[in-house]
Amino acid sequence: MKLLQTQLHSRLARPSVCSQQLRASLRVCCSVSSSGNGSSSNGSNSSSTSSVSTAATATAATTTQRSAKQAIDYGVIPAPPSSRQAIWTEQVWGASPSLSRQIFCNRSLNMKQIKAIGFDMDYTLAQYKPDTFELLAHSQTVDKLVTAFGYPPELYDFKFDWRYMMRGLIIDKTRGNVIKVDRHKYVKVAYHGFRCLSSEERNAVYNHSAVRDDYEEPAYGMIDTLFSLAEAYLFMQLVELVDKAPGKLPNFSGYAGVYRDVRAAVDLCHRDGSLKRHVAANPSKYIHDDPHLVSMLQMYKRSGRQLFLATNSLWDYTHVVMNYLCGKRVGKAKNDEWLRMFDVVVVGCGKPGFFSERRPLFAVSTRDGALHNTDNGAPIIPLGEEDLPDDILGRGSTMSQLDLGEDDKAAVFQGGNYVDLHQMLGVRAGSEVLYVGDHIYGDILRSKKSLGWRTMLVVPELEQELAVAEATRATQFELKMLRNARSDLDTQIQRLEWAFKQREIPPEALLQNQEQLALLRAEREAVKDRHSRLLLEHHQAFHPIWGQLLKTGYQNSRYGHQIDRFACLYTSHVANLAFYSPDRAYGGRVDYMAHEDVMGLEGMQN
């Protein structure tokens, strides 16, 4: 028994069983804050760690400066590349594109099995400029609230910061909060108006409740599209206003009523055309030019795929935007040549209902936008008319007989549903269709779950995320080391505490082990403090309010989790398809479990 106590004493008295690299990391942290913690170390420890501490402090300062520099452009939604680069068909030897142009694969997809490729228009083919378009959306919504909903004119004094919001957030309609949750539905960031809730407030409201909420409609509103950023920011402004002076809002009955008014005002902006008129008058002010877009569409058309456009926008606006994108034609210079890029165009399709509900299908006259009834896709001549316009005739007696040849212009329809589209394209299974969109719910989730379509999500913010992540590699490595150090120290401290509690330590070793325990606790506090501060700095390098788009702490954010689950592919810009072979077989990444992460297998190549 005496021998056993002596061996235990010998093991517990050791400074650590950390690796040298891990020990260096925690010694650096401890030396930074040792004076504040009141702990002391022997002379050999102090001398051996002083040079490491100085070097590490300099490294940390450089990392922090780099992070701060990156944070200057927070919230930026990068435009497509302004200068044209050689696309895949123009390269002598096929080469991998740069990181910002890459397409990332969650689920293996062999493009040889894809017969039809579809595109959404708004924020997919057409990338809007947030500093002008979102400002327009904000101002137009404010105007509707004042003129149509009786809100006070002082709303006109609201200033809009288009960089403040990000996708993936959730609006708590009842409490007037905006929250960010991880994939486990744990709320990590919460704001009431523009006031950040403390961790105690946040946990009391969301994380420590008897029943964990699912954070879904109707009690919550999803900020899943770039269209939603302006209305979310306006909601936060109105929460601030109503908290200061609730009597200023008409018939105020709670934050949910304010949110309902904002949504109704946004819908009114779309219905009365106030937003679209501004864009139509000056497309270049609101829409980015993408020099690779037309080349990409032509390349996939030549590859033998059927191309279709499926957008919720109606014909008049679609015609304006696509003319600008495909030829910078505006005003009277517009024509329907852009229809040669596609085989079928469906406007006003009403996604996500398009993927599950049966709706009437109308043929659209490209001359004047008039709608014509169809019988299983074939146009019907109404009573009193001898014939239909030329652009409606000649489409065949049924959808399966539509002439969708490469040299012909696409047939244009409104409404209908996926069954009509499948018949037009001649596809037998949803797995033969790849659909590219920007809305995780309206474009990606429903089409994948309901139809089995293969999906690609366009995430313009990804380009900025990749740039910051690349610039902060050293910070990410240090964070990993600090996490390991905290775990190692916890293990040592808990073993000593257990030994004291169970009276396993002989009396003659008590003092030495008490000193060791105090030292380890001081080291743990220093490591914890350094880790917490560095993690905050790291997230603020991406966005000073909300952090990383696809992460919340160390977990995938709700938005990142949805991308992982429902998007077969994802990329920063739709035209990145131009840098890959139309027949490419995209290989999914290897999935790793926690034990494989510990073993280091996550670093292995696919």
Q: Is 152 exposed, middle or buried (0-12, 13-18, 19+ CB in 10 A)?
A: middle
Q: What's at 378, amino acid-wise?
A: A
d(CA 395, CA 422): 16
Of the candidates 73, 120, 131, 407, the residue annotated as catalytic is 120
Residue 272 assigned as binding residue: no
Residue 387 assigned as binding residue: no
Of the candidates 73, 122, 172, 336, the residue annotated as catalytic is 122
d(CA 93, CA 574): 22
Residue 587's Cβ-side half-sphere holds a number of Cα atoms within 13 Å equal to 4
Beta bridge partners of 182: 557
Three-state secondary structure readout of 237-289: HHHHHHHHCHHHCCCCCCHHHHHHHHHHHHHHHHHCCHHHHHHHHCHHHHECC
DSSP letter string over 293-342? HHHHHHHHHHTT-EEEEE-SS-HHHHHHHHHHHHH---GGG--SGGGGG-
- Count the Cβ atoms, other than its own, within 10 Å of residue 30: 26
d(CA 92, CA 109): 25
Question: 324 is written with which tokens?
Answer: 């600008």
Question: 547 is written with which tokens?
Answer: 């952090």
Residue 224 assigned as binding residue: no
Question: 299 is written with which tokens?
Answer: 């390349």
Q: Is residue 161 flagged as an active site residue?
A: no
Q: Is residue 375 classed as helix, strand or coil in its secondary structure?
A: strand
Q: What's at 437, amino acid-wise?
A: G
Q: Is residue 122 flagged as an active site residue?
A: yes
Q: Is residue 1 classed as helix, strand or coil in its secondary structure?
A: coil
Going by C-alpha positions, the residue among 169, 191, 172, 171 that lies closest to residue 180 is 169
d(CA 250, CA 268): 18
User: Which residues are catalytically annotated?
Assistant: 120, 122
**Which residues define the annotated binding site?**
120, 122, 438
**Which residues define the annotated binding site for GMP?**
122
